[in-house]
Amino acid sequence: MSLLGRSDFGHRRMEEEEYGTEYEGGEGGEQYTAMQSQGGGANFAPSQGGSLFRSEEMALCQLFLQSEAAYSCVSELGELGLVQFRDLNPETNAFQRKFVNEVRRCDEMERKLRFLEKEIKKDGIPMMESGEPPEAPQPREMIDLEATFEKLENELKEVNQNAEALKKNFLELTELKHILRKTQQFFDEQETLEQGGGVGQHQQLIQDEGGAGGGGLHLGFVAGVILRERLPAFEKMLWRACRGNVFLRVAEIEDPLEDPHAGDEVIKSVFVIFFQGEQLKSRVKKICEGFRATMYPCPDQATDRREMAVGVMQRLEDLNTVLGQTNDHRHRVLAAAAKNIKIWFVKVRKIKAIYHTLNFFNLDTSQKCLIAECWIPRLDLETIQLALRRGTESSGSTIAPILNEMQTTESPPTFFRTNKFTNAFQELINAYGVATYREMNPAVFTIITFPFLFAIMFGDLGHGAIAFLAAFWCIIKEKQLLTRKSDNEIWNYFFSGRYLIALMGIFSMYTGLIYNDIFSKSLNIFGSSWQVSIGPNQIIHHKSYMIDPSSNATDKGYYGTPYPFGIDPIWQIASNKIVFLNSFKMKISIILGVIHMLFGVTVSFLNSKYFGKTVNILCEFIPQVLFLSCMFGYMGLLMLHKWANYTAGGINGDPMTNEQCAPSVLITFINMVLFNDNDPPAVGCDPYMYAGQNGIQHLLVIVGLFCIPWMLFAKPFMLKKEAASKPNEFFDFSEVMMLQGIHTIEYALGTVSHTASYLRLWALSLAHAQLSEVLWSMVLRIGLSTNGWYGGVMLWATFAAWAGLTVSILCLMEGLSAFLHTLRLHWVEFQSKFYSGQGYLFTPFSFEKILEQAENSLE
Amino acid sequence: LILFYKRKMALCGPKLSLCGVIISAWGIIQLSMMGIFFYINSVALIEDIKLAEEYEDLRKLKTDMDAGYQQNAYNCWIAALMYLVTLCVSAQQFWMNSRTSYSV
């Protein structure tokens, strides 16, 4: 059924020739025939042939699907998530695609679902989570779903419209009710005025009309309701426009009324305007309309008003009932929808994804089948065949799908099978650049080197314990925290790196024990090897005292054997602690740096061997290793030699190996490079550490210098010779030469600068230790040195402050800083020795990923 | 007003009470251990006791040191006890907060 042949990925560019794309048919090729029902996706144990060292072998395959079976086969492949389809119709735009109608229908359904979701959220109804995501439904189900959504949407729209109309009615009636109530007073006053009796405060208003008393002033009136904020302007306008000939009475409505459109609450006031004459009436009406005040017909007579009030109350009650029932109905409809809405979302998104993918296919009209091109991992061929078979069976088609491997010169995507533990490290590496197809993956080594280099900079038992405990809690509560999807980005970053942080914490606890540093105090577990052995009567006269560790010192201050594990606890309270630790940490940093870089160069050898590039091995790897080892490897050896062969007081009392005669490694190195002779460090000392050192150093420098032209010229000339034997291939010598020149300079200068760059391991470690000490002595000591009974209370308060600052400054800030520097050391100093990072990620068609993306984009 | 008294409101929210629980637990452990270390006159903590700048009499130095260590040990233990109380209060607040949000 499936035809598999050897594929031969050729060259793409000059650069890619290095680490690219030659297929060697190594570990993975022959294993596929074994039945591997892995269930796809990520397993913890890598399967035979697949590993994290190199990206998986990929095959470009052609897929022939019968038109009827296409939908269900793609559905099965989407569940599997192991196939990356290529777009075979890139020139066609979205409207010319074959399945554009179906995609459009899915978009419509999604829009209706979002409308429903919004309404459900507005009412505060909880939506049930879908649990197991349902499978993509058959195409015929799509029509049913569409009908359901249409019905729901229409019903909801109708209910909403009705509710709005009812609310408007309700508002009008409420306003009328208020008017009828409030205007009672006004009309009473008005009647007294009309009868000519009583001097009201508003006498002034009608003075112009012709004095008090006198016959009946028959006033017309207009009653209405206006927003309270518009009232002052309204009054002013009325006064100006009617020249003071109208009479305005206002009363406030205490309860806020609900605006039917926006749904928010507004405060309104009742007003009555009295005027005389038709002209004023029209003017007043126009002003009212301008200020959007609603006017209501209010009857003249009190009895009429009372009747109206009763009628209004009745209608209000009826309306209330109807409104209540409408809301209940809406609630019921939404609650019923809320049960299924998440499942519907999943189904609709899956359908849309399937049709979107089907749009990538080519239609072969003569045989009525769809053709697709896809990248699949070679190891998963069996699983994919099974999935395709399942799809064909479920669609009831008889013709089986054909999976056919193609030859191609393109470079395949990079696919790493990671689990929840290795994922974080792979992400760190991918952030810098995705590994080229089948080159060595630095993420594997990063699992250990990253926490280790971090721990050198962060070494504190207490802070490491805090980081470890926090990450450990995240790991224990993993399942709970995964379901609780948070949109707090910072939390998501920390949570997804929980395994990384846990490892960093463990390693930091280890280096904390080595540095013997817990919150800037040291632990004396095994008994210090130092003691102050001058008598108590003498010590009281010394402000500071230096303990001489040499074996022939008059006062035996040093036992002779060092502290068994880590730094002696006495150093923490010594005043020359920093001087001592500086020397130690700087040398360690350089030594570890050189080891790390040599390891990087070795990985480049593994790459060259795998891709069969012997020219790289001869012309790049060997001179690179020689250069690095002869210069900086030798410097590391000098450091180790000095540690072993010089001691306080000399080895066995020999004055040539005492602390005064120990030559400086840095000065020795500088003199070595400049071909100078060493000066003796003190009178009577040997300027060299071992016999013949000068000669050996000269030799090493010459070898190192010779490596430069070797790196520069060997490869271009060898490539030129190779190209001469193949006259068809295009070979540009000047370009090759220039590239090689760039690489050589980069490497040679890089060794110097990167070696010095590793000194950041020392610098950050020093900063961390000092910050820790400052925090203790400036904050906690306040609580510790208060006398009296309130000392305990002060300590209680200062401890909280100290703990907060420890977590925020020392753990979080220093932790992030050390994390960043470690990342830089990996990305630049380590990976520049071998990594090309020119690949692209394998992005399979996977429902899981699509659903996740849709969830995240909505929030 | 009556409603206010009937509703049992927590003094602090869920986050503050959780912080309180964690810091109190940490404080109890660390302060009691520091108390022990002060009590046995550990040399590592010598810079944390109150001593004068200069001493002429050795006996005075010894008594000062002993007194300083004792004092600090008691301070640490008092603070540890206070954190025990804080832990109980915070734990109760935390429990009350998680209960009210549950019932809603």
- What DSSP letter does each residue of A373-426 carry, written as one string? EEEEEGGGHHHHHHHHHHHHHHHT--SPPEEEE----SPPPB-----TTHHHHH
Long-range own/partner contacts, residues B97-101 (CB < 8 A, 24 or more apart): B97/B10, B97/B13, B97/B14, B97/B17, B98/B14, B100/B10, B101/B14
Provide mean pLDDT across the span A5-25: 38
> Which of A569, A784, A791 shows the shortest C-beta gap to B44?
A569
Please tell me the predicted confidence (pLDDT) of residue A415.
Answer: 94
Instruction: Give A49's pLDDT tier (boundaries 50, 70, 90).
Output: low
**Window from A479-493, A709-723, B5-19, B33-47 with minimum mean pLDDT:** B5-19
Q: Is the pLDDT of residue A16 over 60?
A: no
Q: Is the pLDDT of residue A52 over 60?
A: yes
Please tell me the predicted confidence (pLDDT) of residue B87.
Answer: 96
Q: Is the pLDDT of residue A428 over 70?
A: yes
Please tell me the predicted confidence (pLDDT) of residue A786.
Answer: 79
Distance separating alpha carbons of residues A441 and A418, to the nearest angstrom: 12
The winner for highest mean pLDDT among A124-128, A408-412, A724-728, A809-813 is A809-813
Distance separating alpha carbons of residues A792 and A783, to the nearest angstrom: 7
**Window from A105-109, A552-556, B26-30 with minimum mean pLDDT:** A552-556
Helix, strand, coil share of chain B (percent; to 5): 80, 0, 20
Distance separating alpha carbons of residues A85 and A157, to the nearest angstrom: 40
Give yes or no for B104 touching A (CB within 8 A).
no
**Residue-wise over A315-338: b if at least 16 C-beta within 10 A, else e?**
beeebeeebeebeeebeebbeebb
Please tell me the predicted confidence (pLDDT) of residue A789.
Answer: 76
- Compute the nearest-CA separation of A474 from chain B (Å): 15
Q: Is the pLDDT of residue A628 over 50?
A: yes
Cα nearest neighbour of B21 on chain A: A800
Measured between beta carbons, the chain B residues lying within 8 angstroms of A470 are none
- Selection from A608, A617, A218 nearest residue A440 by Cα: A608
Measured between beta carbons, the chain A residues lying within 8 angstroms of B15 are none
Residues 6+ apart with CB under 8 A from A256: A265, A266, A267
Q: Is the pLDDT of residue A175 over 90?
A: no
- Compute the nearest-CA separation of B61 from chain A (Å): 9
Please tell me the predicted confidence (pLDDT) of residue A48.
Answer: 52
Please tell me the predicted confidence (pLDDT) of residue A89.
Answer: 86
Provide mean pLDDT across the span A98-112: 90
Q: Is the pLDDT of residue A202 over 60?
A: no
Residues 6+ apart with CB under 8 A from A515: A459, A460, A566, A567, A581, A765, A769
At A666-686, the pLDDT tens digits run: 999 999 999 998 888 888 888
Q: What value, to the nearest 5°, has the Cα angle with vertex A752 and ends A815 and A600?
A: 65
Contact call for B75 and A523, based on CB within 8 A: no
Residue predicted with more confidence, A721 or A820: A820
Provide mean pLDDT across the span A706-728: 90
Measured between beta carbons, the chain B residues lying within 8 angstroms of A784 are 48-49, 72, 75-76
Cα nearest neighbour of A778 on chain B: B48
Instruction: Give A41's pLDDT tier (boundaries 50, 70, 90).
Output: very low
Cα nearest neighbour of B38 on chain A: A784
Contact call for A524 and B77, based on CB within 8 A: no
Q: Is the pLDDT of residue A651 over 90?
A: no
Provide mean pLDDT across the span A247-262: 81
Q: Is the pLDDT of residue A201 over 50?
A: no
Please tell me the predicted confidence (pLDDT) of residue A90.
Answer: 86
Please tell me the predicted confidence (pLDDT) of residue A198.
Answer: 46
- Selection from A383, A393, A483, A403 nearest residue A79 by Cα: A383
Q: Is the pLDDT of residue B34 over 90?
A: yes
Which residues, listed in sequence order, are joined to residue A54 by a DSSP beta bridge?
A440
Please tell me the predicted confidence (pLDDT) of residue B8.
Answer: 60
Provide mean pLDDT across the span A34-63: 63
Q: Which token pair is A188?
A: 């009473």
Q: Is the pLDDT of residue A13 over 80?
A: no
Assign 3-class secondary structure to A788-810: CCCHHHHHHHHHHHHHHHHHHHH
Q: What percent of chain A has pLDDT over 90?
A: 49
Measured between beta carbons, the chain A residues lying within 8 angstroms of B46 are 573
Cα nearest neighbour of A776 on chain B: B48
Which residues, listed in sequence order, are joined to residue A274 by a DSSP beta bridge?
A221, A247
Please tell me the predicted confidence (pLDDT) of residue A194.
Answer: 64
Contact call for A800 and B27, based on CB within 8 A: yes
Please tell me the predicted confidence (pLDDT) of residue A367.
Answer: 67
Distance separating alpha carbons of residues A105 and A634, to the nearest angstrom: 71
- Compute the nearest-CA separation of B6 from chain A (Å): 27
Distance separating alpha carbons of residues A52 and A443, to the nearest angstrom: 8
Q: Is the pLDDT of residue A699 over 70?
A: yes
Instruction: Give B63's pLDDT tier (boundaries 50, 70, 90).
Output: very high
- Compute the nearest-CA separation of A118 from chain B (Å): 22
Give yes or no for B28 touching A (CB within 8 A).
no
At A779-817, the pLDDT tens digits run: 998 888 877 778 899 999 999 999 999 999 999 999 999
CA A293, distance to chain mean position in Å, is: 53
Provide mean pLDDT across the span A353-377: 87
ipTM value: 0.91
Give yes or no for A491 touching B (CB within 8 A).
no
At A118-169, the pLDDT tens digits run: 888 888 888 877 677 888 888 888 889 899 999 999 999 999 899 889 988 9
Residue predicted with more confidence, A483 or A321: A321
Where do we find the tokens 């549950």?
Answer: B102
Residues 6+ apart with CB under 8 A from A852: none
Residues 6+ apart with CB under 8 A from A200: A189, A192, A193
Measured between beta carbons, the chain A residues lying within 8 angstroms of B77 are 792
Distances, alpha carbon A602 to alpha carbons A620, A720, A830, B58, in Å: 11, 26, 11, 63
Distance separating alpha carbons of residues A811 and A469, to the nearest angstrom: 12
Q: Is the pLDDT of residue A450 over 50?
A: yes
- Compute the nearest-CA separation of B93 from chain A (Å): 18
Distance separating alpha carbons of residues A654 and A279, to the nearest angstrom: 125
The winner for highest mean pLDDT among A16-30, A331-345, A356-370, A432-446 is A432-446
Cα nearest neighbour of B60 on chain A: A540
- Which positions 57-76 of A are in contact with B (Cβ < 8 Å)? none
Query: What mean pLDDT value characterizes chain A?
Result: 86
- Compute the nearest-CA separation of B88 from chain A (Å): 15
Distance separating alpha carbons of residues B20 and B93, to the nearest angstrom: 9
Please tell me the predicted confidence (pLDDT) of residue A176.
Answer: 87
Distances, alpha carbon A469 to alpha carbons A565, A578, B17, B21, in Å: 24, 30, 19, 15
Q: Is the pLDDT of residue A15 over 80?
A: no
E strand or H helix at A116:
helix A100-123
Contact call for B83 and A783, based on CB within 8 A: no
Contact call for A524 and B43, based on CB within 8 A: yes
Please tell me the predicted confidence (pLDDT) of residue B53.
Answer: 83
Give yes or no for A516 touching B (CB within 8 A).
no
Please tell me the predicted confidence (pLDDT) of residue A412.
Answer: 94
Relative orientation angle of helices A278-290 and A231-241, to the nearest 10 degrees = 150
Full DSSP string of A24-75: ---TTGGGGGS-----SS--SSPPTT--SSBPPPEEEEEEEEEHHHHHHHHH
Instruction: Give A639's pLDDT tier (boundaries 50, 70, 90).
Output: very high
Distance separating alpha carbons of residues A436 and A837, to the nearest angstrom: 5
**A-B contacts at Cβ under 8 angstroms:** 78
- Compute the nearest-CA separation of B33 from chain A (Å): 12
